[in-house]
Structure 1
Amino acid sequence: MQSLIKGFSKLSREEKIKVLAEQQQLAPEIAASFEAFLHPEQQHLFNDISENIISNFYLPFSLAPNFLINETLYMVPMVIEESSVVAAASKAAGFWAKNGGFQTRVISTTKNGQLFFNWQGNINALNERKKEIEDLILTATATITSKMRQRGGGITGIEFEKVPNIVDIYQALIKFQTADSMGANFINTCLETIGPELMAYINQHPQLKQEHEASVIMAILSNYTPECLVECKISCSIEQLRPYAGSYTPKEFAKRFKTAVDIAMNDPYRAVTHNKGIFNGIDAVVLATGNDFRAIEAGAQAYASRNGRYASLTNIELRDEQFKYTLTVPLALGTVGGLTNNHPMAKAAMHILQQPSAEQLMQVAAAAGMANNFAAVASLVTTGIQKGHMKLHLSNILNAFGADEAEKAAATKHFKDSVVSYTMVANFLNTIRR
């Protein structure tokens, strides 16, 4: 059994690599690769982002052009390892730019914080004093929220709820507006300030205090933001869908598309993959702009289950020869603070997007998700997903087999009209190498 490592975080980068190499018997070329991916000029910026850093992990920074969103044209930065995602988004964006573009709107930007506490009282007694308690917490957090209030944010409300199935555990669900910041640190700081003040109020109030004093269990923001919603719509006449219809008529294609979406509304196995196609686009934008894609994913997947069964985040309507497709998704994004201001490529992404507000970024990300989902469903109900995906994946397969430039050129020509798979590429390379 290997011995535990003490004080690893205090070691220099070189010392960390040495410990790793010794413990894992690391091949010298792997250890050398860590050096190759350090930034020659700005490594100090990356060193401040995380802990125990030994190198950087690079992902492609791509652009998907021609996104017409509410009559404004964007080039959308995307950070993702899958080339077919960028290609599909770009193609769909170009198509919809000629057919009305993406119509988006922010429904709400409310975010939630939770203060859990142990108490033996009656929840109605708290809710009856909600206005008095709201005044209390606004006063307690006045210093913390002053700058946020100047930007139009702050604490906007409070609700008290009993936590189901747990005796004597309650929560204060506190509503926030965080302007252009994602707001996690702001919300958590407010909650931790509110906790002692609220407990003191409960424990001293003659109608609220109990034999056992109320006490805080924990205080934390919630990544479930069902009120921080953005909507994205695309619509056109069914006849205009001909470029995506393949061998089908536009009307047949539209019906097949609707059936696929209806399946995703009613079958959770399909719904998960359907929604993953949406997040191919959303996550790529979220990563490019330095936002927290794990928080976005967690909140949106919970939202997809809000009716008690996991379902599609999109809805479709075919009526009067019109195709209308809608995505509604919670996206708690920010454009100030965190990596958005510190990471050089995140800053570049914000410049490319014309320095958007948080609400504008929500709409861009939703449009990217819609573009990728539309392209994926269109492929599924016509040629199948693998034809286009594997064509674009060919270069990755060739690199995995160590193909040189001549072999890549020959393979690209050969597979122009042939099925692409790992086995087929391996067989082709073996043949020309012999």
Structure 2
Amino acid sequence: MKQQPIEGFSKLSKQEKIDWIVQNYLEGDQEYTAILQQYWNADIKLQKLHEEFSENTISNFYMPYGIAPNFLINGELKAIPMAVEESSVVAAASNAAKFWLDKGGFKTKIIGENKIGHTHFTFSGEWEKLQYFFHHVLKQKLFEDTANITHNMRHRGGGILEIELVNKTALLEDYYQLKANFNTQDSMGANFINSCLEQFGSTLKREIEASDQFGQADKDSLSVVMNILSNFTPECIVRAEVSCKIEDLKDPSGIKAEEFAWKFKQAVNIAEIEPYRATTHNKGIMNGVDAVVMATGNDFRATEACAHTYASKDGQYTSLTHCSIEEGIFRFWIDLPISVGVVGGLTNLHPLVKFSLALLGKPSAKELMSIIAVSGLAQNFAALRSLVTTGIQKGHMKMHLFNILNQYGVTEEEKQYFVNYFKDKTASHHEVVTELKRLGSKAIKN
């Protein structure tokens, strides 16, 4: 079947979109129509709300929503919501929370709250003249022209903190920036920051054009390329950490506490110097981070981009977590750059996001930063703990077992059989299939 372009797809009703897709791409198979309709919400009002979150919506894509309990964070016991589809993430976080529960729990500290945005522009005039103009005329005008935008944010204690003129001509011909630092309080602040930056671009053009300090050639050379926030927030950072005496690091695997501590530290050290290991190491951290970011209606793509940029900031990709052993004390911590909000966006719209924030005690943005960092640290601790003791596969494949069994559509009795079968051994896809065949299961004939 040769597909044809379509005009006005966005103007079709939801059912018309589905009909067109099934007819043109799925050979008219109504099974696919049924799949899409199966995930519609029975509550028409709620379904409409979900559809308005994005464009060309034809169904909902559900993610498992789980709870990791027993997190002692700065003396308060928390149950953390996690939206994630990967097996063992919630279990691993929960196990780490339980491990540290009687050792003082997790401690956090906000190191910075500043976010950054830029007006990117080109200018072929003299740098010294532009620099003088910025400090004596333009900078004040930028603050004045954004006063109406920043009024409410300033009232809440935020706003524009600083504006700089940055010369990037050594890297790209005629390229300059107006770089601004922002505090957006409890909002992630993307719309606020971008509104300010767009005004920067307008003010820059107007003031240069009106100034008698520049000739017409200089004025004609000015071009505002774009005004946009940066998702790299190296000055918006939270630290989460755990620590205890080495002798308190008792593990059910039977490994001695001191051996465990040093093997754990060596595993972190390897991730600090080996990018191949650091990538997987940090991916595990982001399993915990992204799950909470999603559950609270924040932007996990921005979180991912920022974390990985931060991990590369010194010229080589490295671990986001660190470990030390000094004077008999084991310490494990993460410095996580992250920008999240608890107002705006989906926080007032998505029912499960509302639930998540209520479950967490309606945290401020700083408190949510702390909770997210703790989740990432816990996930990393659990992974490293497995790696240096029993190995990662035993626990992971145990959680993955139900995915394998569901793939074959086994009965509930067969599921229980396999839970017992793999109680003391590592589950594998091959072993499941072999045992299903031995049992003569109807599932394996499908």
Q: TM-score range by the shorter chain?
A: over 0.9
Q: Deviations over 1:14-56 (max 9, x none)?
A: 1111111111125322220111111111101101101111110
Task: Identify the residue that residue 326 of structure 2 maps to in structure 1.
Answer: 319
Aligned length: 433
CA–CA distance in structure 2, aligned partners of residues 124 and 309 of structure 1? 35
Task: Identify the residue that residue 10 of structure 1 maps to in structure 2.
Answer: 11
Task: Identify the residue that residue 154 of structure 1 maps to in structure 2.
Answer: 159
Does structure 1 residue 229 correspond to structure 2 residue 237? yes
CA–CA distance in structure 1, aligned partners of residues 390 and 332 of structure 2? 21
Q: Deviations over 1:242-265 (max 9, x none)?
A: 126x24211111111111100100
Q: Percent identity?
A: 48
Letter in 2 for 1:16: K
Does structure 1 residue 97 correspond to structure 2 residue 98? no
Do the aligned partners of 1:113 and 1:220 also contact (CA within 8 Å) in 2?
A: yes
- Pair 210,242 (structure 1): closer, same or farther in 2 beyond 3 Å: farther
Task: Identify the residue that residue 362 of structure 1 maps to in structure 2.
Answer: 369
Does structure 1 residue 391 correspond to structure 2 residue 398? yes
Do the aligned partners of 1:123 and 1:160 also contact (CA within 8 Å) in 2?
A: no
Do the aligned partners of 1:233 and 1:326 also contact (CA within 8 Å) in 2?
A: yes
- Superposition deviation, residue 397 in structure 1: 0.9
CA–CA distance in structure 2, aligned partners of residues 401 and 427 of structure 1? 13
CA–CA distance in structure 2, aligned partners of residues 127 and 323 of structure 1? 50
Do the aligned partners of 2:271 and 2:319 also contact (CA within 8 Å) in 1?
A: yes
Do the aligned partners of 2:165 and 2:179 also contact (CA within 8 Å) in 1?
A: yes
Which aligned pairs between 1:125-164 and structure 2 lie closer than 5 A?
125-128=129-132, 129-130=134-135, 132-163=137-168, 164=170
Which aligned pairs between 1:270-309 and structure 2 lie closer than 5 A?
270-309=277-316
Do the aligned partners of 1:121 and 1:210 also contact (CA within 8 Å) in 2?
A: no
Does structure 1 residue 256 correspond to structure 2 residue 267? no
CA–CA distance in structure 2, aligned partners of residues 17 and 203 of structure 1? 52
Does structure 1 residue 85 correspond to structure 2 residue 89? yes
- Superposition deviation, residue 426 in structure 1: 1.2
Counterpart of 1:109 (choices 106, 113, 123) is: 113
CA–CA distance in structure 1, aligned partners of residues 304 and 24 of structure 2? 35
Task: Identify the residue that residue 343 of structure 1 maps to in structure 2.
Answer: 350
Larger deviation: 79-88 or 205-214? 205-214
Task: Identify the residue that residue 37 of structure 1 maps to in structure 2.
Answer: 39
Task: Identify the residue that residue 21 of structure 1 maps to in structure 2.
Answer: 22
Do the aligned partners of 2:393 and 2:426 also contact (CA within 8 Å) in 1?
A: no
- Pair 210,96 (structure 1): closer, same or farther in 2 beyond 3 Å: farther
Task: Identify the residue that residue 56 of structure 1 maps to in structure 2.
Answer: 60
Letter in 2 for 1:30: Y
CA–CA distance in structure 2, aligned partners of residues 96 and 221 of structure 1? 38
- Superposition deviation, residue 304 in structure 1: 0.5
- Pair 209,363 (structure 1): closer, same or farther in 2 beyond 3 Å: farther
- Pair 322,43 (structure 1): closer, same or farther in 2 beyond 3 Å: same
Q: Deviations over 1:36-92 (max 9, x none)?
A: 111111101101101111110011111001111111111000000123010010011
* SS of structure 2 residue aligned to 1:116: strand
- Provide structure 2 residue ranges, at least 5 long, that are not aligned to the other structure: 442-446
Which aligned pairs between 1:184-263 and structure 2 lie closer than 5 A?
184-208=190-214, 211-213=217-219, 214-243=222-251, 246-263=253-270
Do the aligned partners of 2:320 and 2:335 also contact (CA within 8 Å) in 1?
A: yes
- Superposition deviation, residue 381 in structure 1: 0.9
Letter in 2 for 1:274: H
TM-score by length of 2: 0.94
- Provide structure 1 residue ranges, at least 5 long, that are not aligned to the other structure: none
Does structure 1 residue 423 correspond to structure 2 residue 430? yes
Counterpart of 1:380 (choices 387, 394, 399) is: 387
CA–CA distance in structure 2, aligned partners of residues 123 and 316 of structure 1? 45
Do the aligned partners of 2:3 and 2:25 also contact (CA within 8 Å) in 1?
A: no
- Superposition deviation, residue 132 in structure 1: 4.2
- Superposition deviation, residue 124 in structure 1: 4.6
Task: Identify the residue that residue 433 of structure 1 maps to in structure 2.
Answer: 440
Q: Deviations over 1:306-343 (max 9, x none)?
A: 10110001111111111011100101000000011111
Letter in 1 for 2:420: K
Do the aligned partners of 1:231 and 1:363 also contact (CA within 8 Å) in 2?
A: yes
CA–CA distance in structure 1, aligned partners of residues 418 and 135 of structure 2? 69
* SS of structure 1 residue aligned to 2:324: strand
CA–CA distance in structure 1, aligned partners of residues 287 and 258 of structure 2? 27
Task: Identify the residue that residue 444 of structure 2 maps to in structure 1.
Answer: none
Do the aligned partners of 1:104 and 1:230 also contact (CA within 8 Å) in 2?
A: yes
Do the aligned partners of 1:317 and 1:324 also contact (CA within 8 Å) in 2?
A: yes
Which aligned pairs between 1:392-411 and structure 2 lie closer than 5 A?
392-411=399-418
CA–CA distance in structure 2, aligned partners of residues 150 and 166 of structure 1? 39
Q: Deviations over 1:73-123 (max 9, x none)?
A: 110000001230100100111111210111101111101111011111344
* SS of structure 1 residue aligned to 2:206: helix
CA–CA distance in structure 1, aligned partners of residues 377 and 430 of structure 2? 33
- Pair 136,90 (structure 1): closer, same or farther in 2 beyond 3 Å: same
CA–CA distance in structure 2, aligned partners of residues 336 and 5 of structure 1? 38
- Pair 401,131 (structure 1): closer, same or farther in 2 beyond 3 Å: farther
Do the aligned partners of 2:394 and 2:425 also contact (CA within 8 Å) in 1?
A: no
* SS of structure 1 residue aligned to 2:262: helix
TM-score by length of 1: 0.97
